[in-house]
């Protein structure tokens, strides 16, 4: 859906999205990255398990919630990528397993 404009000043930042090493760009938010990584969503909702993408990117819609370095329900539009960051996209209802 989106493409980054060429910007030599932005270094590549390696992060992991659902366990897959993915090149992010220095200074971008996690939500901005997720919009470029197929299937271009942030999560499946916990109510009807429908796919959602970041919507407002300014911290008011909470549709970009994902798990970042083990912390659940992080508003990814408010967090910038860091090297080695691990991002997991929620897959619907939380299932508690033994």
Partner 1 sequence: MNSGHDILIVGAGPAGMAAAIELRRLGLMPLVVDEQPRPGGQIWRDVERQRPDVLRRALGPDYAAGADMVARFRASGAEYRPGTRMWHIERGLRVFLSQDGQAFLAEPRALVLATGAQERPAPLPGWTLPGVMTVGAAQILMKGSGQIPDRPVWIAGSGPLPILYMRQLLAAGGQIAGYLDTTPAGAARRALPQIGGALRGWGDLRKGLGWLRDLRAAGLRLQRGIRDLAAEGETRLEAICYRTADGRSHRVAADLLLVHEGVVPSVHATLSVEAPHVWDAGQGALRPVLDDWGMTGIDGLFVAGDGAGIAGARAAVARGRLAAQGIAARLGRPATADAIAATRAELRAATAARGFLDAVYPPPDTPIADDTIVCRCEELTAGEIRAAARIHRGGPNQVKAVTRCGMGPCQGRQCGYTVNRLLAETYGQTPAETGFFRIRPPLRPVTLRELAALEEGREAP
Show the beta-strand stretches assigned E in 49-97.
Answer: 51-52, 65-68, 71-75, 86-88
Compute CA distances 38 → 8, 48, 79, whole Å: 24, 21, 20
Give 24's strand partners. Answer: 13
Position among 16, 37, 62, 92 found at the interface with partner 1 (CB under 8 A): 62
Stretch that binds partner 1, among 4-12, 13-21, 82-90 (CB under 8 A): 4-12
**Least CB distance from residue 42 to partner 1, whole Å?**
9
Instruction: Work out which of 12, 14, 40, 84 binds partner 1, going by CB under 8 A.
Output: 40
Encoded tokens for 69 = 């370095």
Report the nearest approach of partner 1 to the CB of residue 52 (Å): 6
Binding residue for partner 1 (CB under 8 A) from 37, 53, 88, 92?
53
Q: Sort residue 56 into left (φ over 0), alpha (ψ -120 to 50) or beta.
A: alpha
Cis amide leading into 20 (omega within 30): no
Which residues make up the interface to partner 1 (CB under 8 A)? 1-10, 25, 27-29, 32, 35-36, 39-41, 45, 47-48, 50-63, 65, 71, 73, 77-78, 80
């Amino acid at each position: 859906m989106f493409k980054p404009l060429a910007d030599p000043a932005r270094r590549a930042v390696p992060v992991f999205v659902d366990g897959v090493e993915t090149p992010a760009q220095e200074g971008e938010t996690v939500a901005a990255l997720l919009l470029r990584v197929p299937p271009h969503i942030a999560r499946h909702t916990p109510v009807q398990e429908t796919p959602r993408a970041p919507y407002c990117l300014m911290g008011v819609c909470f549709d970009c919630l994902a798990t970042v370095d083990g912390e659940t329900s992080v508003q990814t539009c408010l967090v910038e990528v860091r090297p080695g960051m691990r991002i997991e996209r929620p897959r619907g209802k939380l299932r508690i397993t033994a």
